[in-house]
Structure 1
């Protein structure tokens, strides 16, 4: 009898978890639909959009620089011995550049930005929600969704691709530095081989999916913060869940992007 009761309790918990998950997916979809509705209606908050772009880009620049540089160093150091066994050191610039631009750079830098930007948006909007600042904006006749949410999602959508491109360049510089020190390859020769190897079919899919990465980072962070509850405890939960949900969503978007690009660009 006790075992049967425990099985029923476990099944009920699983059902409630799945139900909660699909409810949250529906709420997030409605939130995204509201964003697309508001983004094309006046008034347009250009000043706030520029301020958010500056904050997201400026505050993430150092972190992206360090991440990209170390990524290039480590990837080259780990790959070089294997290529040397086959006498294929000359393939290093091509292999590193294609790997970083296609996949490693966008995903790693987007995950870093998810931890930095998405959690920041969730904590900021969550704090405004629990301190009733958003409610005060609604009472005063201001559209808080337009001012707070739309600007942050647009800023993340615009800035994440730029940060990814910058991070890729820094990663390639780190890789070229290792090749210059260990393989006596000049920077000019290294980047000549890089640009010979890279095609538009490498750059276009990576750029398009980085735009979706930015949108996901801004959307989930804003959704969690804007709908924050349970006071100050809820602010921490919103910030933490924003990072977790965004990271999972990035992997899903990456899989879909790779699948589609494999069809259209024959990668």
Structure 2
């Protein structure tokens, strides 16, 4: 193989992933624009988004995720308390751990952990469901009946996650702060009343809006990536399993990248 052929081969290996990413990003943008259009004017086009579908997706994406979100947020609250007390004790300032918790939980840890959990649950669920419908020809059957698959599948899931994820983040905040208060009371002897007074004195509406803003972005990413991975499934059951795995990894990577962008910008 000549030097020019080697260079072309390397450029092809580098360029294909970039082209695939650009193509997938364009596909996601097209699906998102169509879903927003149907949400805003679907009833005029004879393609209304049914409330019962939204409620069903809220139950599967939000209510069913409550136990694991509460458990993981509670664990994060205790871990942050342990690490904070241990680090601040070096400077004799362990009593200031409440201020660190107030600044880190609502802005960073609660939305990030909740987003990752929902990505693992709902992202894989959406990919599996849509991929199965794609392989079984159900999406084509919807088109034949004059029903938009985006109206039937994408729009309800998007609305459900936009509604459920901020609520889950709020519950994660309460769970993490509560378990942290138990540990701090046991180790430092700071009464719950004093603990919550410090928390409320530091946490602002801006901090809460910051966390809820992240939740909204994460919800859009999870819904669109999960569904679009399912829409691109072809072949057999093995391809569906690979798409589901790829969906979870892509959702988590997108959430971490978006969180990093929030940190850099805000």
| Shared fold, TM over 0.5 | yes
Deviations 1:109-133 (A, max 9, x none): 2111111111111111111110111
CA contact (8 A) 2:95 2:188 kept: no
Return the match for 2:82 from 72, 77, 80.
Answer: 77
CA contact (8 A) 2:107 2:207 kept: yes
Paired with 1:154 and 1:66, the residues of 2 have a C-alpha distance of 25
Paired with 1:59 and 1:129, the residues of 2 have a C-alpha distance of 25
* Map of 1:11 onto structure 2: 11
Deviations 1:202-239 (A, max 9, x none): 11122122111111111111111123212212211221
Write out aligned runs for 1:1-267 (5 A): 1=1, 5-40=5-40, 41-42=42-43, 43-260=48-265, 262=266
Paired with 2:109 and 2:3, the residues of 1 have a C-alpha distance of 48
Residue 5 of structure 1: CA displacement? 4.3
Which shows bigger deviation, 218-227 or 150-159?
Answer: 218-227
Residue ranges of structure 1 left out of the alignment (5+ in a row):
263-267
CA contact (8 A) 1:114 1:247 kept: yes
Paired with 1:252 and 1:188, the residues of 2 have a C-alpha distance of 37
> How many correspondences in the alignment?
261
Deviations 1:191-210 (A, max 9, x none): 11111111122111221221
Paired with 1:39 and 1:254, the residues of 2 have a C-alpha distance of 27
Please give the secondary structure, in 1, of the residue aligned with 2:128: helix
Q: TM-score, normalised by structure 2?
A: 0.92
Please give the secondary structure, in 1, of the residue aligned with 2:34: helix
Residue 31 of structure 1: CA displacement? 1.4
RMSD, aligned CA: 1.7
